[in-house]
Amino acid sequence: MEHTRESADRTARPRQTAAWPRTGRPLRTFDAGTGERWRFGFAGQARAEVHARGARLHSLLVPDRWGDPADVVLAARDPADSEGSARYFGATVGRYANRIARGRIVVDGVTHRLATQDNGHTLHGGPDGFDQREWRCEPFHSAHRTGVRLFLHSPDGDQGFPGALDVSVAYTLDREDNLTLSYQAVADAPTVVNLTNHAYWNLEGEGRGSVLSHHLQVRASRYTPVDAELIPTGAHRPVDDTPFDLRRCRRLADVLAQTDAQAAPAGGGFDHNWVLDGAPRSRPRKAAVLYAPASGRRMEVRTTEPGIQVYTAQGLTGDVIGKAGGAYRAYAGVALETQHFPDSPNRPDYPSVLLRPGEVYRSTTIHSFTTVPA
């Protein structure tokens, strides 16, 4: 990883030694507003909270370079916001993550009309996507790994998609501060599947300002440009000499200050898919690195997916109040959504998202947390 060293206002601070509370095996709690939720992790290391509604990553506490933990995942303080402005925060989205143009797919010659949002396209599975469902949960725990596995049944015709689909996603923390998200799905008829997690990350801590000082690297030589409605135009465009060239770690403030016509459809920031270098593999490969200079937190993302959608959250307006009580404004976080490409069902030149009976959809993404010395 390449990055520019920046002075931080805490470089003279001594390392903190206060122990984190022990969590042991995953702990189930219930709240009238958020429903079933699970907390898990290891003492002195990363700890997570996952909610059954939306199979949602609600929080992730990670130590900084001094050993002090902070929650690096954005989430609304008011549970009602998870059905409105914050509906995708940390959620598992599907049955098809990202956009499908005009809510139309063709499977084996049969046209299916999908439920659409107000702009006439299907986004993240439709108005009643997986982010709004109650998932069934099962905890697991060993000496080195702990977490929760969530299950959902999506019936034939759900939001217009063909075939019944049985889905699972497992959130796993290990003793090396790796958060692994493992997805599986099977269908009883041909259908399309594309699952991802929609966490917004701020490695300085949620509610602690914008991510414009963060440095981002994406291992991709091409991206998919979009039209005015954020639908891919089809071509893969080289990132050379554009703000989309993140092959070396670059500060987001510097990148987003560059002028490019592709910034207009996304409201002045990124809401685009990068085509990751190299062919997808069964084992996760390095896709991106996010680094926060002040805290020293570094997150490496590895995935089996062919693409990654980067959304710099320029659309946040302050109407969502976060867990710490601060309003989430533009650039309060950045989403790194590992995925197949947007509108792939309508793009035969894109990697296939078709799932047939007897096949198993599998996808794995790993977020690895370390710190960089001052």
For residue 128, the tally of other CB atoms under 10 A from its CB is 11
Residues 6+ apart with CB under 8 A from 320: 76, 81, 85, 86, 89, 327, 328
Q: Is 300 a catalytic residue?
A: no
Catalytic residue chosen out of the listed positions 51, 121, 124, 198: 198
122, 100 Cβ separation under 8 angstroms: yes
Pull the structure tokens for residue 186.
């099977």
- 190: nearest Cα among 363, 361, 343: 361
Residue type, 35: G
Calpha distance 310→303 (Å, rounded)? 14
Q: Is 305 a catalytic residue?
A: no
The span from the first CA to the last CA of the chain, in angstroms, equals 16
Catalytic residue chosen out of the listed positions 36, 337, 340, 367: 337
Residue type, 176: E
Residue type, 37: R
Determine the Cα angle at 103 with ends 347 and 199, to 5°: 85
Beta bridge mates, 170: 149, 182
Any idea which residues carry the catalytic annotation? 198, 337
